[in-house]
Amino acid sequence: MRSIRVWKWLIPTIIVGILLGCAAGVKVKDETAPLPGDRRWVEKTIRNMTLDEKVGQLVVARYSGEFFNYDSPYLKNLEALVKKYHLGGLILFGGEALETAYFTNHFQKLAKIPLLIASDLERGAGNQVTGATLFPPLMALGAADSEELAYEMGRVTAIEGRALGIHMTYAPVVDVNINPDNPIINTRSVGEDPEQVARIARAFIRGCQGSGMMATAKHFPGHGDTDQDSHSLLPVIRADEERLNRVELHPFRVAIEAGVESVMTAHLYIPALEPEEGLPATLSPRIMTDLLRKQMGFRGLIVTDALEMRGITGYFGDEEAALRALKAGVDLLLLPLDPVKVIEHLKQAVRNGELPVSRLEESLRRVLLAKTRLGLHRQRFVSLERLPLILGKQEFRDTARKAFASAMTLVKNDNNLLPIKKDKKIVLMSLSSDPGDYFAGRRLASELVNRLPATRVFYADGDTGRERLTEAMSASLSADLVVAALFSSLRSGKGTVDLEPVQVEFIRQLKAAGVRVVALSFGSPYFLRHFPEIDGYLCFYRNTPETQELAALALAGEIRISGRLPVSLPGLYPRGHGLILEKFEEAK
C-alpha cells in the first residue's frame, strides 16, 4: 500500500517536471532525429508532395559532365528522370568544367525540388572534372601524416566543387586498410592505423563541410580487411565484434563526432554483426539502424554504395535490394540499375503497406533538410562566369603539389644509391600492369633524361611479350643502375592492384644477375613484398604527372624526401618506417 501511495505522489510530480522541462526548452535527446535545417520549408514541401515525388526524392542516378546536344537520347533520358520521376539527385562521373556547370544548372531548372548533386571527389574536384585541382589519394596524406594538408584538401575540394554545382562528395574513405591484398581500397585509405585514419579523415571533414560541401564517411562498417572487390562479388569480413569496434568502427565514430553529414554503406557480409547469412550490410537493419543510428548516434544521411555493383545485384534483384535498403534504414538509393523500375516498385510497396509512409517520410525529411543546410531552397544555380576565377587557382595547385611531395616515402636505399650521380649509366624500365598503358612512364622518362642524360628508356605493359623485356635485360646488364617504375591502377572490377607476374620475374632476374635495382611504386606500396632483395624502393602512391615529375627530382637529389609508410610491409618494414633524404646540395 505504501508503494502505491508513493507512486500516486511521484506520477504527478514526473508529469509536472516533464511539462516544465518542455516549457524551459529542455528536450529528451533523440539520437535518430535528423540534423537541423529549415524545418518550416521542409514540412511545407512535404505537405504538398505527391507519392511519386516523395519516392523519387530517395533515388539518385548518374550523369556525365560532357557536351550533349539537346537532341541526345542520353540527355533526354536524364531530363525525363528529373522531370517525370522527380529524382532527388544526380551523381557526376567525369566531365569538363564548363559543361558540368552548364548541365548542372540545366537539370536544376527542370527539377521541381532542388537536386542534390554529388560526386566521388576522393582526390579533389580534379578527380572528376578536368581543370579542377587534383590531389593525391588519402594514403599519401597518411604518408605525410598531415592534418593541415587534409584540412586544405577538404577545403579546396568544397570550394571548387560548389563552384561547379556539386554539393556532396563521397569522401573521405575511412576504411582501415589492414589487408595488403585489398584490391579496391588500398591507397584510397589513409592507412592501417585506425587512429591515424580517424585524425586525417576528421581534418578533411572539417575543411570540406566548413566550406559548404557535405562530406561522406565510407564504406560502413569498414571495407579494409578483404582481398575481394564488392564491385564484382559480396566480400565477407570475418572479424569478431571486439576487432570491429577497435579497428573498423573507430574512424566512423570519430567522423560522426566531427559532424560528418553522410555515411555510405558497404556491400559486405559481416557475420559478427548480421546473423542472416549472405545479407549485405547495406540491407541489414541491425547494421544500418541498430548499430549506426541508435548505438553510434548518427543523425545524417545514410547513402548506399552503388546498387548496380555485383555485391548487391549478384544476390538480390534491383527492386528487392532498393526496398530492403530503405527498410533497413538507408535514406538515399544510389545508382540502381533501372531507376524507373525501382521507383515504381517502391510506390507499390507504399500502397500495399509493405513500406510504411512514416518510414518513407523519415528519409525524405533527412534529404530535404540536407538540401536546406546547403542553401538549395534559396539558390540552386551556379555562375559559369566565375569558374575561371576559382578552378585550378595557383594557390590550390601549390597545396596539392605540397601534398604529393610530402608523401614521397623512401623505404630502402642500400649503399646510398640515391641520389643518382649524373655520370651513371641508367636504364629506366617503365612497367605497367594495365593493358594498353604502354607509355605509362613517359613523363618520368622525359624528366629523368633531362637530368641524367646517360639514361636508356624501355617500356612494357600488361600485353607486352617477353621480347621487349629480353631487350631491356640485355641493356641492364651493362648499366650502373636500373630504375624500375611500377604502375598498376586501382580500378573497380579489376580484381587486383598487383603487378604482372612476368614483370615481377623480370626484376628478380635482374637482381639474380647482380644488377643494382631501385623500384618506384606509383600505386600500391606493397609491391616490395615480391622482391625484397632490391637495393632501393620509393613510394609515390599514385600515378599522376606530378608524381612522375617528383620522382625524377627525387632520383636526382633535387627535392627532400620525408614521408613515412602509413601501412606495414609484412615481414619487411613496420608502419611509420621511412628514410629521410635531404636535397643533394644539403647532403654534401
**CATH code (residue 518):** 3.40.50.1700
Q: Does residue 60 lie within any of the structural domains? A: yes
Report the pLDDT value the prediction gives residue 124, as an integer from 0 to 100: 98
Q: Does residue 33 lie within any of the structural domains? A: no
Among 363, 394, 425, the domain boundary falls at 394
pLDDT tens per residue across span 243-286 = 999 999 999 999 999 999 999 999 999 999 999 999 999 999 99
Question: Is residue 190 a contact partner of residue 141, using CB atoms and an 8 Å limit?
Answer: yes
Q: Is the pLDDT of residue 27 over 80?
A: no
Which stretch of 30-34, 156-160, 436-440 has the lowest confidence by average pLDDT? 30-34
Q: How many domains does the structure of the chain reveal?
A: 2
231 catalytic residue (yes or no): yes
Q: Is the pLDDT of residue 2 over 90?
A: no
Pairing of strands 262-265, 301-303: parallel
Range of the domain at 493: 408-587
pLDDT grade, residue 434 (50/70/90)? confident
pLDDT grade, residue 585 (50/70/90)? low
Terminal CA-CA length for the chain = 93
Whether residues 383 and 424 share a domain: the answer is no
DSSP class of 569: B
What single-letter amino acid sits at 52?
D
Query: Cis peptide leading into 221, omega within 30 of 0?
Result: yes
Q: Is the pLDDT of residue 11 over 60?
A: no
State the catalytic residue, choosing from 86, 219, 223, 231.
231
Quickly count helices (H) and strands (E) in the chain: 22, 15
Whether residues 344 and 308 share a domain: the answer is yes
Report the pLDDT value the prediction gives residue 151, as an integer from 0 to 100: 98
Mean pLDDT score, 152-164: 98
Q: Does residue 29 lie within any of the structural domains? A: no
Whether residues 542 and 498 share a domain: the answer is yes
Whether residues 386 and 432 share a domain: the answer is no
pLDDT grade, residue 16 (50/70/90)? very low
State the catalytic residue, choosing from 175, 225, 229, 305.
305
Distance CA 84, CA 105 (A): 18
Dihedral-angle region of residue 495 (phi above 0 means left; psi in -120 to 50 means alpha; beta otherwise)? left
Kindly report the CATH number assigned to the domain that includes residue 376.
3.20.20.300
Distance CA 487, CA 17 (A): 67
Mean pLDDT score, 529-536: 97
Whether residues 99 and 248 share a domain: the answer is yes
Among 394, 419, 440, the domain boundary falls at 394
Pairing of strands 409-413, 536-539: antiparallel
C-alpha cell at 470: 629480353
Query: SS3 for 539?
Result: strand
Query: Cis peptide leading into 219, omega within 30 of 0?
Result: yes
Q: Does residue 361 lie within any of the structural domains? A: yes
Whether residues 460 and 495 share a domain: the answer is yes
Q: Does residue 14 lie within any of the structural domains? A: no
Whether residues 71 and 139 share a domain: the answer is yes
Q: CA Rg, the chain, in Å? A: 26
pLDDT tens per residue across span 82-91 = 999 999 999 9
240 catalytic residue (yes or no): no
Which stretch of 441-445, 463-467, 567-571 has the lowest confidence by average pLDDT? 463-467
Which pTM was predicted? 0.92
Q: Does residue 84 lie within any of the structural domains? A: yes
pLDDT tens per residue across span 490-526 = 887 777 888 999 999 999 999 999 999 999 999 999 9
pLDDT tens per residue across span 54-111 = 999 999 999 999 999 999 999 999 999 999 999 999 999 999 999 999 999 999 999 9
Whether residues 147 and 89 share a domain: the answer is yes
Q: What sign results for the dihedral spanned by CA atoms 197, 202, 205, 206?
A: negative
- Cα dihedral 206, 208, 213, 214, rounded to 10, equals -60
Whether residues 428 and 549 share a domain: the answer is yes
Mean pLDDT score, 141-152: 98
Among 364, 394, 424, the domain boundary falls at 394
Whether residues 384 and 432 share a domain: the answer is no
Report the pLDDT value the prediction gives residue 30, as an integer from 0 to 100: 56
Mean pLDDT score, 26-42: 73
65 beta partners:
95
> Mean pLDDT, the chain, as a whole number?
92
Report the pLDDT value the prediction gives residue 3, as an integer from 0 to 100: 40
pLDDT grade, residue 31 (50/70/90)? low
Whether residues 429 and 319 share a domain: the answer is no
Q: Does residue 28 lie within any of the structural domains? A: no
Whether residues 124 and 160 share a domain: the answer is yes
For 166-318, list the strands marked E by DSSP.
168-169, 216-220, 262-265, 301-303
